[in-house]
Structure 1
């Protein structure tokens, strides 16, 4: 059984050789400059990161100059999610949707970062540093094949990711209609433990993302899949950063 990444982009039939054959006419010859490359995906990932950072910095600056960041944060998250859904069904439009996602997701990241920073000064730089270190370590482990993405590895990561998503959804629904307080709320040791577990699973998803991008290059996917892969990787990094913010806030509130 071939399990994919949790990303709605990387876990997509567009990465299969069959779908590629369906998208290209038999009489069409695709040159190397029209195929997905690793360097192209890296460049586009860096570009998306810069766009997200620039957007986040604007909201950050506006927040510390008196603006309420809640509205842009919520709006950015909603629009970003819509762009994610569209791109998962129409990956050929990723070259337009991916930059849009980065800009709107930057509104969300900038807004929640400012909120956390007001409550816990210095937490943002810690979360950014932790995210970068985690990414670098995972990339190194994958590049030097210290961690190999096997089918069993994919199965475990996918199962854990789905379990987390299900738990979050059920907890949110219960908290809406009852006085139930999910165990991952607050700063108890149980809550901190759950945050650590979620961060580990998010980090493991990076390995699946790296593998899917590599597979896309090897299968000579169309050029737009560079944007598609870069966008999927950004989703995991955003998830990882947000979880680091949550964990660090719990630890800080115990001091």
Structure 2
């Protein structure tokens, strides 16, 4: 399971060999696929999830799905929960400290904004670094969470204190509701994560990010709200689209955690699961916060 975020491809559909490099069954009349060497030579979303193990190339301990009761050295659901709770805990603590120690009144808002932007940029760089690493680095992941927390704390304080009182808590509740709803839908089988689902989500996310990047460029060089995609009625519309995309990425995260546990992934992979879930939850939270801010500005 590779580190991931709402922009970059997931492990299993990696930039190493592409989707076909997972050992999916060859199509009739076409060349055989899945014979490439490397840890991504099998498809974790194949019809028989235990027939091919994407971790088999990592050595004998991971050459077969774990037998019942044998989890030594392998990722378990408890590992994922613990690492995710740790990562989110660090983010929440630093967000609370930033909220308390970086005031957003008129006399201090520029300094607080500056610190928040700097923390956000460094967090983004750390996120990029971890996303392209083949192995997780807990210190890097926790540093990302800490700096992202500083950024979120200041932004949330600005929206809550200067635009809409209670906006941060509303965004948190909205994020929790989406998480719970997607988890229930996924466990009930209402959401089926397959190749088509993945392709649709990634194409939609790429288009969304490119559109928002163009809007940001127009805002930076042209002033105002750019093309208006992040303000007013269009801002609300694209905010809802962003939440829906975040929910889809949660489903991908759940599928990968499930596959990692089923295949007996190395225990260290739980840190990547925590990293991916944290990125997705931050995405959803920011979209909710933006929607709430726009709604209150319109009133």
Alpha-carbon separation, structure 1, partners of 2:102 and 2:5: 35
Report deviation, 1:7.
Answer: 5.5
More helix by share: 1
User: Which residue of the partner structure matches residue 151 of structure 1?
Assistant: 195
Deviation of the 1:174 alpha carbon: 2.7
Moved more, 209-218 or 66-75: 66-75
Q: Which has the higher contact order (CA 8 A, sep 6+)?
A: 1
Aligned-partner Cα distance in 2 for 1:142–1:88: 25
**Post-superposition offset of 1:228:** 0.6
Q: Does 1:41 align with 2:85?
A: no
CA distance, structure 1, for counterparts of residue 55 and residue 272 of structure 2: 14
TM norm structure 2: 0.75
Question: In 1, distance between residues paired with 2:9 and 2:204?
Answer: 19
Contact 1:138 1:203 in 2 (8 A): yes
Q: Is the 8 A contact 2:62 2:266 kept in 1?
A: no
Equivalent-residue separation in structure 1 for 2:61 and 2:243 (angstroms)? 47
Does 2:157 match 1:105? no
Gap change, CA 1:91 and 1:77, over 3 Å in 2 = farther
Residues 115 and 91 (structure 1 numbering): CA distance in 2 closer, same or farther, change over 3 Å? farther
Q: Which protein has the larger Cα radius of gyration, Structure 1 or Structure 2?
A: 2
Runs of 4+ in 1 over 4 A off after TM superposition: 12-19, 26-31
Q: Structure 1 residue 115: deviation in Å?
A: 1.1
Q: Where does residue 85 of structure 1 map in the other structure?
A: 128
Rounded to whole Å, the distance in 2 between the matches of 1:160 and 1:122 is 31
| Match of residue 214 from structure 1 | 258
Aligned partners of 1:41, 1:33: CA distance in 2, in Å? 15
Structure 1 length as normaliser, TM-score?
Answer: 0.87
Which residue does the alignment assign to 1:174? 218
> 1:157·1:201 contact (CA, 8 Å) conserved in 2?
yes
**Which residue does 1:131 correspond to in 2?**
175
List runs of 5+ in structure 2 lacking aligned partners: 17-21, 23-38, 42-53
Q: Is 1:60 aligned to residue 104 of structure 2? A: no
Q: Which runs of 5+ in 1 are unaligned?
A: none
**What is the rounded CA distance, in whole Å, between the counterparts of 1:108 and 1:56 in structure 2?**
7
Range that drifts further, 66-75 or 164-173 = 66-75
CA distance in structure 2 between the partners assigned to 1:48 and 1:155 by the alignment: 28
1:74–1:108 CA contact under 8 A, matched in 2: yes
Alpha-carbon offset, residue 231 of structure 1:
0.5
